[in-house]
Amino acid sequence: MYETADADPEAFWAAEAQRLDWIRPWDRVLDWDPPFARWFVGGRINASVNCLDRHAKGPRRNRAAIVWEGEPGDRRVLTYHDLWREVGRMGNALRGLGVRKGDRVTIYMPMIPELPAAMLACARIGAVHSVIFGGFSARAIRDRMEDAESRILVTADAGYRRGNVLPLKRIADEAVAGLDLVEHVVVYRRAGVDVAMSEGRDHWWHELAAAADSRCEPEPMEATDPLFILYTSGTTGAPKGIQHSTGGYLVGVAATTRLVFDLRDDDLYWCTADCGWVTGHSYIVYGPLANGASVFMYEGAPDWPAPDRWWRMVEDYGTTVLYTAPTAIRAFMRSGDEHPKKHDLSSLRLLGTVGEPINPEAWRWYHRTIGGGRCPIVDTWWQTETGMILITPLPGVTTTKPGSATRPFPGVAAEVVDDRGRPVPVNTGGYLVITKPWPAMLQTIFRDPERYKDVYWSKVPGKYFTGDGARVDEDAYFWLMGRIDDVINVAGHRIGTMEVESALVSHAAVAEAAVVGKPHPLKGQSLVAYVVLKAGGTQSEGLTKDLQKHVREVIGAIAVPDEVYITSKLPKTRSGKIMRRVIRALVSGQEIGDTTTLEDPGAVDEVRKWLAEVEGDPPR
Ligand code: WTA
């Protein structure tokens, strides 16, 4: 397969595309007008039909599409027929609210089956969904809705997390207050808590569904029409709306799900991500359902009410494939072997990881304690932008090395290059780039093609710049070394340091801020903020707490710095740029590499002195 795909990637992807149901066949597999790729040009397809109808109309009709457990312990199973019906009803309901092909629908929901249902209902009628992770704040929702010009919000009254009731509707209300753009809010009743319903604007999901027909004519989409946008952090203050296509994206995620997870008819497949992130889009919803898989979904916290929650569920449901993040594995490792050991995990046959490099120690623990030494591990490298897994072992095919994502998927071409774009020698660090287009690649940044060109295609001309550092070993295996830009991976979540800085600076007391990442035993990285106050501002214990609270309000809990230091100045280059790279390196305890690009070679010593002063300063 590797050889065939290498010899003719387009033919390889066309063969994968043949496995899907097309309304009209494509004329050309790929139009490549760098850096804009159009896959399956002329083809028409509907993603919800591929994820639902073709299973609901065949022998998989009564097979479980989603097996779900809520955090309080409630259980539901939706067959393909059930999910098809619910999606049809919501598709019709959204059409009834005036949603048309190309309109953006924002979804802000807990991890309940209605979240994939809402996504698929959009796909059915050609609306472009923009899912926002339930941990984001009202401000974050508002900014994203404004950027996407989204007139509709789908949410729930509340969700459960670690025994608490998260008031999603209340946060949603705050997000849309005074936002004239917003015409309708659809509310699913999950927790039965009291919520304010605004007459004319707000609608109960169950009332809309009860009034709607389950047969919903699917919109015939051009393969190149957008399926969704998903906001992700970059190196500037504003998150980018990553836009994905319908046909190419679906081909890419369907093929990788089938091959990387070696899907079988008797699998119960569990990807522990949240649908608010790309992993949930590609490997809970579109990839698995396009393959007719049975997907397990869990609403709440991994350690609630006890640290064996996940393992109890694996035993109860007979999960066969488990796909999770290294940060979760490290947390379980720390909480002790006795929790997984209480349960029979022998149903598991394949394990996966995603989101950050996995340290070999965690890899071995996962292999031994969770996989019983019997399950292959697929360490899958990819990004929101790539849409699909690009570097990964194939189970049963690739000999793994703990800590390496191994080789590019068939048909994918990756390289590690220096800052002039030249391939680096074996075992030398450099920038990871992708050298050929792939079907699930992002189309553009929503309404900002210039930024798309600049961010991904200008650093190394003609090649897709991932923002990750990597090296390739003597066996041509890829070893990922983390981000090389101002993006930090905290517990598998991508956080832009500039975003956190602009959140801090929006606080009335703050003049300037610098945020860097620092190694953290569980989260991989944690955020450290250095803050300069406006004239007259005074530091206090209360102020640092207030700054953390402020970041939580502006972005969300995931972006709150663990450490906040107040300082009288930030170290800068002569041209006035904050020396983030030097601060980051020193805070991480790394040795400083090449400082010749710094305008002031004395900078390292200066920052070292500065750090000693700042971190010696109480209060923290
Ligand atoms: C990192 C998540 C090492 C990487 C799917 C990438 C990884 C960023 C791996 C994308 C892996 C993801 N090994 N690093 N297997 N998988 N990453 O957009 O830095 O949330 O650029 O997509 O996560 O994060 P994103």
Pocket test for ligand 1, best of 136, 389, 464, 468 (most atoms within 8 A of CB): 468
Q: What is the pLDDT of residue 582?
A: 84
Total structural domains in the chain? Answer: 2
Shared-domain flag, residues 514 and 457: no
Specify the residue with its C-alpha closest to ligand 1, atom 15.
Answer: 381
Q: Exposed (0-12), middle (13-18) or buried (19+): which is 358, by Cβ within 10 Å?
A: buried
Classify residue 409: in a domain, yes or no: yes
Whether residue 247 lies inside any domain: the answer is: yes
Q: How many CA atoms lie within 13 A of 8 on its CB side?
A: 7
In a shared domain, residues 522 and 592:
yes
Choose the final residue of a domain: 414, 438, 469.
469
Kindly tell me if the per-residue pLDDT of 596 is higher than 50. Answer: no
Measured in Å, residue 434 CA sits from the centre of ligand 1 at: 14
- Among 469, 501, 526, the domain-final residue is 469
Residue 585 pLDDT > 90: no
Contacts of 368 (CB under 8 A, 6+ apart): none
Please state the atom number of ligand 1 nearest to the C-alpha of residue 482.
Answer: 19
What pLDDT does residue 291 have? 98
Window from 109-123, 156-170, 422-436, 485-499 with minimum mean pLDDT: 485-499
- Residue 161 within a domain: no
Residues 286 and 407 in one domain: yes
Same domain for 513 and 455: no
Edge to edge, what strands does the sheet with 226-232 contain?
A: 202-204, 184-188, 152-156, 104-108, 128-131, 226-232, 240-245, 444-445
Show the tokens assigned to 506: 């929006």
Q: Ligand 1 centroid vs 169 CA: distance in angstroms? A: 31
Determine the pLDDT at residue 595: 47
pLDDT at position 617: 54
pLDDT tens for 175-228 read: 999 999 999 999 999 999 999 999 999 999 999 999 999 999 999 999 999 999
Token couple for 144: 């994203």
- Nearest residue (by CA) to ligand 1, atom 23, is 355
Predicted pLDDT of residue 598: 45
d(CA 494, ligand 1 centre) in Å? 8
Nearest protein Cα to ligand 1, atom 4: 356
Which atom in ligand 1 lies closest to the alpha carbon of residue 384? Answer: 18
Q: How far is the CA of 357 from the centre of ligand 1 (A)?
A: 8
Kindly report, residue by residue over 456-514, the tens digit of the pLDDT: 999 999 999 999 999 999 999 999 998 888 899 999 899 999 999 999 999 999 999 99
Query: Given this model, what pLDDT does residue 594 score?
Result: 52
The predicted-structure confidence for 34-47, as pLDDT tens digits, reads as follows 999 999 999 999 99
User: In this structure, is residue 38 part of a structural domain?
Assistant: yes
The Å distance, Cα 379 to ligand 1 centre, comes to 10
Examine the domain organization and report whether 561 and 440 are in the same domain: no
Rounded to an integer, the average pLDDT of 228-244 is 91
Q: How far is CA 425 from CA 83, 256, 413, 467, 470, in A?
A: 51, 29, 17, 19, 12
pTM for this predicted structure: 0.94
Residues within a 6 A CB radius of ligand 1: 232, 277-279, 354-357, 379-384, 405, 466-468, 480, 483, 489, 494
Q: How far does the centroid of ligand 1 lie from the alpha carbon of residue 461, in Å?
A: 22
Is the per-residue pLDDT at 107 higher than 70?
yes
Question: Dihedrals φ, ψ of 591, to 5°?
Answer: -80, 145
Distance of CA 493 from the midpoint of ligand 1 (Å): 9
Q: Identify whether 229 is part of a domain.
A: yes
Same domain, 435 and 538: no
- 460/596 same-domain check: no
Residue with CA nearest ligand 1 atom 7: 356
Provide the pLDDT confidence category of residue 618 given band limits of 50, 70 and 90.
very low
Mutate to test the pocket of ligand 1, among 382, 487, 493 (most ligand atoms within 8 A of CB): 382
For atom 6 of ligand 1, the residue with the nearest CA is: 383
Distance 358 CA to ligand 1 centre (A): 11
CA of 278 to the centre of ligand 1 (A): 10
- Mean pLDDT confidence for 526-543: 88
Ligand 1 nearest-atom number relative to CA 391: 15
Residue 94 has pLDDT above 80, yes or no: yes
Which pLDDT value is given to residue 290?
A: 98
Is the model's pLDDT at 608 over the cut of 70?
yes
Ligand 1 centroid vs 414 CA: distance in angstroms?
Answer: 15
Do 500 and 584 lie in one domain? The reply is: yes
Q: What is the mean pLDDT of residues 2-16?
A: 98
Residue 352 confidence (pLDDT): 98
State residue 620's pLDDT score: 38
Quote the mean pLDDT of the chain. 94
Name the more confident of 234 and 204.
204
Q: How far is the CA of 523 from the centre of ligand 1 (A)?
A: 14
Residues 6+ apart with CB under 8 A from 218: 46, 48, 49, 53, 91, 124, 125
Instruction: Return the pLDDT at 34.
Output: 97
Helices (H), 37-113: 47-48, 54-56, 80-96
- Distance, in Å, from the CA atom of 456 to the CA atom of 453, rounded to the nearest integer, reads 6
Residue whose CA is closest, atom 11 of ligand 1?
381
- Are residue 510 and residue 401 in the same domain, yes or no? no
Burial (CB count within 10 angstroms: exposed 0-12, middle 13-18, buried 19+), residue 334: exposed
Predicted local distance difference test score (pLDDT) of residue 238: 85
| Statement: residue 593 has pLDDT above 60 | no
CA 405 to ligand 1: nearest atom: 15
In a domain, 204, yes or no: no
Alpha carbon of 468 to ligand 1 centroid (Å): 8
Mean pLDDT of 433-442: 98
Q: Is residue 193 part of a domain?
A: no
- The atom number, within ligand 1, closest to the CA of 385 reads 18
Using most ligand atoms within 8 A of CB, pick from 323, 494, 495, 525 the residue to mutate for ligand 1: 494
Domain boundary among 439, 469, 499: 469
Ligand 1 centroid to Cα of residue 356, in Å, is: 5
pLDDT at 558 over 60: yes
- Shared domain for 435 and 529, answered yes or no, is no
Mutate to test the pocket of ligand 1, among 136, 380, 381, 401 (most ligand atoms within 8 A of CB): 381
Q: C-alpha angle with apex 507: 502 to 512, nearest 5 degrees?
A: 55
For residue 483, give the ligand 1 atom closest to its CA. Answer: 19
538 and 422 assigned to the same domain:
no
The pLDDT value recorded for residue 554 is 94
Residue nearest to atom 24 of ligand 1 (CA): 383
Say how many Å lie between the CA of residue 588 and the centre of ligand 1. Answer: 20
Q: How far apart are the C-alpha atoms of 331 and 326, rounded to whole Å?
A: 9
Q: Whose CA is nearest to atom 12 of ligand 1?
A: 355
Which ligand 1 atom is the nearest neighbour of the CA of 487? 19
Query: What range does the domain containing 546 cover?
Result: 491-615
Percentage of the chain exceeding pLDDT 70: 98
Count of Cβ atoms closer than 10 Å to residue 398 Cβ: 16
CATH number at residue 573: 3.30.300.30
Q: How far is the CA of 408 from the centre of ligand 1 (A)?
A: 14
Q: Which atom of ligand 1 is nearest to the CA of 380?
A: 15
Q: Distance, CA 471 to ligand 1 centroid (Å)?
A: 15
Angle in degrees, 0-180, between the axes of helices 9-17 and 247-260, rounded to the nearest 10: 90
Residue 30 lies in a domain: yes
State the average pLDDT over residues 297-313: 97
334-366: per-residue pLDDT in tens?
A: 999 999 999 999 999 999 999 999 999 999 999
497 shares a domain with 452: no
Element (H, E) at 118: helix 114-125
CB atoms under 10 Å from CB of 149, counted, come to 11
**Do the Cβ atoms of 430 and 424 come closer than 8 Å?**
yes
CA distances (Å), origin 450, targets 31, 46, 249, 433: 19, 29, 22, 19
Please tell me the predicted confidence (pLDDT) of residue 384. 97
